[in-house]
Amino acid sequence: MPELPEVETIARTLRPALVGETILTADLRWARSLASPSARKFKEQIQGQNILAVSRRAKFLNLQLSTLREPQGRPFNLFVHLRMSGDLYIKKADAVPEKHDRLRLTLSNDKLLVFNDTRKFGRVWLTDDPESVIGRLGPEPFSDEFTPQWLYDNLRRHHRQLKPLLLDQTFLAGLGNIYTDESLHRARLHPLAASDAVKLKQAERLHEAIRAVLAEGIRRNGASIDWVYRGGEFQNFFRVYDREGKPCPVCRTKIQRLVVGQRGTHVCPKCQKM
């Protein structure tokens, strides 16, 4: 599943081609990709929308929209969650539909915005109430709210294993399997450690590690570790993720693979002692 750096990379790639354009028509090719509203309402409401901005919240892509037809109404937001295999492409308006195209939006610049999703897990929302989609998300890792003290206090408020808690999007938004493993290794914390046992200095290390790992991931355009990812190179710089049996870059101990919360998890048994 694309995580924060991959989604941020996609948003930055799409932004120049989308901002300022108008959505002319919508071709919804698989109705269940649409979480809300109904297909009929979606096609009515999306037509004529101007794309004001392209941004990201956690793992959600957000197209902020505005239409001259309803100047007094609340503006719409188009949210896309790519999940396991979703992706967004810009194509020429006359591009032939592909097998796994789920939604095709015709734009005023003679282009298409295409949501392609092989495994059909991705979802799209069109709403004038963003809180209904993203309201329960935790803070962004690069936000002012996310401080070492906030992390320490909130880790101590839960009695959970570290990795499942960090993966919980209502706790902290944007981390997934890859960047959690990498962050915990940098912070020298075991994924099975109890969150309420973390000391302040450890929380400070974890805060620094999360930001450093995500920043490097964004700088390298995310990770390309599966056929659903494209263009990134962060996989060439993994410390532990997907490196079972290979030497830890810090101490040369062989990386081990565990299963934590039904997720494949990679640790250095020496650097990340319980």
Q: Which residue numbers are catalytic?
A: 2-3, 59, 263
d(CA 223, CA 173): 18
d(CA 127, CA 179): 30
d(CA 48, CA 129): 19
Per-residue tokens: 84? 């396991």
Residue ranges of the alpha helices (H) in the chain?
4-18, 39-46, 131-134, 148-156, 162-167, 177-187, 200-219
Do 49 and 23 touch, CB atoms closer than 8 A? Answer: yes
Q: How many CB atoms lie within 10 A of CB 82?
A: 23
The owner of tokens 């789920």 is: 102
